[in-house]
Every structure is written in structure tokens, then in C-alpha cells.
């Protein structure tokens, strides 16, 4: 019957008497699960559209409009925050570097690269002791409010870091500077980040922690007191101004990830890393701090510690290498013992495969007797 309806013309339907039209209309309602009053068939398209109940479509369209408005507002807020930070940093980079921006050298200048709606990057290169600097502004997912709320829930539920705006400044030293800057570990860290940095950074885990003398919200993580007294003064004023937004400022000759072998450890001998992580609350103080850190690299390339300090620093690194060598030796010994046991078991199986059942029985009895005597000797 359903297949016959597609051949049923509207003119034929109108020509039917009222009773028959009612029966056909009811059948069509049951078939299509949607009751359409018969009088609508004679109405113009516009009037039929106005008669339709658009409740669910209105809900969906309202939700989409609200989402896109929130997305636009969040994206605009992030863009304004990032540009406010980067516009303060750009003059510092122009003063300190030959090339500024993410565009090709000699090409069209492009100061900011928009990585996403919550990530903005600028770049500088061409300096005596600093090969390059990358300023990476990472912001909350304001453009995706449901995702931001989920991040907060997960942070509270599992003790994770709360979403926040931050600036990661990655400074890559030149080859000349890496050969001149002595190997040491020093950092000024926010107390809120202290435990996390000690847990996550192999380099900072080798330091001792003391309170920062001029700000209770900061700590100093350093290998030696003399290192602190030498390297801190040139950046002291910049740190004081940026203390409310400072998370991490560190210099290290050891990697963040702990080496798992002596070869990896040896490759990190000439490792020199300067890490700067801050908030976005005070762009002017951030720009001053970045300027001070860049000039700090020049200072560090000329620093020479006393012989006994250098000796202690070397002793720590030698001790770390000895630990890795010991772990490697133990692993090799375990692998050799495992291989010997496997070879011995294989030889035993081959030997038994050539025996008769009676010979196998006697062989196993002999092995059990030896094992029993050995166990008795161990007990005594």
C-alpha cells in the first residue's frame, strides 16, 4: 500500500470525497509518523512554513549562535592578551637581535605567528652569544569554554595544574657561548612551581633550595652558595620587578630529562639551557626581564668560578655518571646471567632428548639429589 502512495497525485486526492480523504489522511499519518492537516496542501509555501513548529530548530540555532559568540569573544580576548605581551617584547628583541619576527630573512616582516586561537609566537635571531630566542605565549582555552571547564574539573579531580596564561621564553645559546659558559645549575623559582620543577627537571633536582632573600614568593635553587653570589646580582632588579609573574628562571648544563646511559650523559656535557617561564600579568616587567636575561648570557660567558667550586661541580657530575655506569654494569651482568641460564637450559634439553626413558629418570634423580644437598647446606 505504501508503494502505491507515490503514484497517488494531489489532484486525485482532492477529487475524493471527504470520508475517503479522511481515511487516506489517517493512513498517511501512520505511515510517515507526522500528521499534516489536509488544508495545508492548498496553502502557499510561505504560509506552510509559518505554520510549522520550529521549536527544536530554534533551540539548535540558538545554541550554535551562543557558541560562536563565545568563541569569538574568547578568541578576541586571547588575541588582545597575546598582542599586549608581544608588543612590549618586540622593541627589546629589535634592540638585541638582527632579525625579529617569524618571517624569512629578507622577506616580508611578520612579527607574530598565530599557532592557534590560544597560542602566539614571536622570534628573534642574530646575536653574538644568543643564536635565537622564541617567545611562546600560551593562553587558556577561552575560545572553547566547554573544554576550559573540563580542564578545570580534571585539574581539581586529579591534582593537575590549573589552566593559566603563561609565556615560555626559549633561549638558544650560540656555539661560542656554550663553550664559554661554565657548567653549573642555578635557578630562581616560584614557590608554587618549586616541587613540580624539582620532580620534573633532572638538572634542578641536583640543587639545594634556599629562600629568595628579597621576595618570600620565590626560592633559589643552586648547587653552591658562591654560584648564587656571582650570577644573581646582574638580574636581581629585573627579578624583583617581575616577581609576581615569574615561574621559572634557570640556567643549567644538565638536561631536563635524566640520561639513561653514559653515552647520553656524555652528550650532555656541553649542554647549556636557559629557561624562562612567566605569567602574562605584567608585560612591561616581562620585557625588562627578557632584556636582562639576554644581557645576562653575555655576563655568564665571562664568568669564571674558583678552582675549588669547579672541582665540586665536576665531582657531582662524575658521581652522576658513576651511578649510570653502575646501573649499566648491573644490567649487562643481568643480561649475561639470563643468557647463561638460557644456554644451560637449552643444553640440558638437548642432552635429555638423547637419553632413554630410564636414563632420563636417573638423570632427574641425580639433579634432585644435588638440589637437596645444596638446600641443606644453605640452611646450615
pLDDT in tens, the chain (380 residues): 444 444 445 455 455 556 555 655 555 544 444 445 555 556 676 666 676 677 888 899 999 999 999 999 999 999 999 999 999 999 999 999 999 987 665 555 678 888 778 899 999 998 999 999 999 999 999 988 888 899 889 988 887 888 999 999 999 998 888 888 889 999 999 999 999 999 999 999 999 999 999 899 999 999 999 999 999 999 999 999 999 999 999 999 998 888 888 888 888 877 888 999 999 999 999 999 999 999 999 999 999 999 999 999 999 999 999 999 999 899 999 999 999 988 888 888 888 888 888 887 887 888 788 778 777 776 66
Identify the pLDDT of residue 6: 46
171 membership: H or E segment, kind and range: strand 166-173
CA dist 72 and 214 (Å) reads 42
Identify the pLDDT of residue 2: 44
The SS3 call for residue 224 is coil
Question: Dihedrals φ, ψ of 350, to 5°?
Answer: -65, -40
Nearby residues of 93 by Cβ (< 8 Å), 6 or more positions away: 100, 122, 124, 133, 135
Identify the pLDDT of residue 15: 54
Identify the pLDDT of residue 295: 95
The model's pTM: 0.76
Q: Which residue has the cell 494531489?
A: 10
Q: Are 101 and 110 in contact (CB under 8 A)?
A: yes
CA dist 109 and 101 (Å) reads 7
The SS3 call for residue 276 is strand
Nearby residues of 167 by Cβ (< 8 Å), 6 or more positions away: 85, 135, 136, 137, 138, 276, 277, 278, 279, 280, 286
Helix axes of 357-379 and 307-353: crossing angle, nearest 10 degrees: 140
| Count of C-beta atoms within a 10 Å radius of residue 313 | 20
Identify the pLDDT of residue 37: 57
Identify the pLDDT of residue 105: 59
Amino acid at each position: 500500500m505504501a508503494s502505491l502512495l507515490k503514484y497517488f497525485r494531489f489532484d486525485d486526492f482532492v477529487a475524493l470525497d471527504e470520508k475517503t480523504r479522511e481515511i487516506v489522511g489517517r493512513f498517511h499519518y501512520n505511515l510517515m509518523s507526522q500528521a499534516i492537516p489536509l488544508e495545508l496542501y492548498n496553502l502557499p509555501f510561505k504560509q506552510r512554513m509559518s505554520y510549522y513548529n520550529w521549536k527544536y530548530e530554534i533551540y539548535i540555532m540558538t545554541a550554535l549562535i551562543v557558541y560562536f559568540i563565545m568563541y569569538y569573544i574568547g578568541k578576541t580576548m586571547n588575541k588582545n592578551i597575546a598582542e599586549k605581551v608581544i608588543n612590549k617584547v618586540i622593541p627589546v628583541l629589535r634592540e638585541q637581535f638582527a632579525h625579529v619576527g617569524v618571517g624569512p630573512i629578507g622577506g616580508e616582516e611578520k612579527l607574530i605567528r598565530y599557532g592557534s586561537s590560544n597560542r602566539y609566537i614571536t622570534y628573534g635571531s642574530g646575536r653574538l652569544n644568543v643564536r635565537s630566542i622564541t617567545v611562546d605565549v600560551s593562553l587558556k582555552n577561552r575560545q572553547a569554554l566547554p573544554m576550559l571547564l573540563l580542564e578545570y574539573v580534571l585539574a581539581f579531580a586529579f591534582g593537575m595544574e590549573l589552566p593559566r596564561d603563561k609565556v615560555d621564553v626559549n633561549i638558544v645559546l650560540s656555539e661560542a657561548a656554550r663553550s664559554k659558559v661554565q657548567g653549573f645549575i642555578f635557578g630562581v623559582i616560584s614557590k608554587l612551581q618549586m616541587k613540580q620543577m624539582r620532580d620534573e627537571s633532572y638538572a634542578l633536582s641536583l640543587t639545594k633550595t634556599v629562600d629568595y632573600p628579597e621576595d618570600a614568593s620565590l626560592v633559589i635553587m643552586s648547587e653552591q652558595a658562591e654560584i648564587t653570589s656571582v650570577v644573581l646580582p646582574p638580574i636581581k632588579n629585573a627579578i624583583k620587578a617581575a616577581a609576581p609573574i615569574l615561574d621559572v628562571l634557570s640556567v643549567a648544563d644538565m638536561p631536563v630529562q635524566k640520561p639513561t646511559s653514559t653515552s647520553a650523559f656524555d652528550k650532555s656535557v656541553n649542554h647549556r639551557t636557559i629557561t624562562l617561564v612567566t605569567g602574562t600579568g605584567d608585560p612591561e616587567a616581562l620585557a625588562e626581564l627578557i632584556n636582562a636575561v639576554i644581557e645576562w648570557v653575555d655576563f655568564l660567558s665571562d664568568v669564571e668560578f674558583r678552582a675549588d667550586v669547579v672541582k665540586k661541580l665536576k665531582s657531582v657530575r662524575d658521581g652522576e655518571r658513576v651511578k649510570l655506569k653502575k646501573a649499566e654494569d648491573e644490567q649487562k651482568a643481568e643480561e649475561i646471567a639470563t643468557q647463561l641460564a638460557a644456554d644451560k637450559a637449552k643444553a640440558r634439553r638437548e642432552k635429555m632428548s638423547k637419553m632413554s626413558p630410564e636414563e632420563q629418570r636417573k638423570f632427574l634423580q641425580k639433579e634432585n639429589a644435588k638440589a637437596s644437598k645444596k638446600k641443606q647446606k644453605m640452611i646450615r
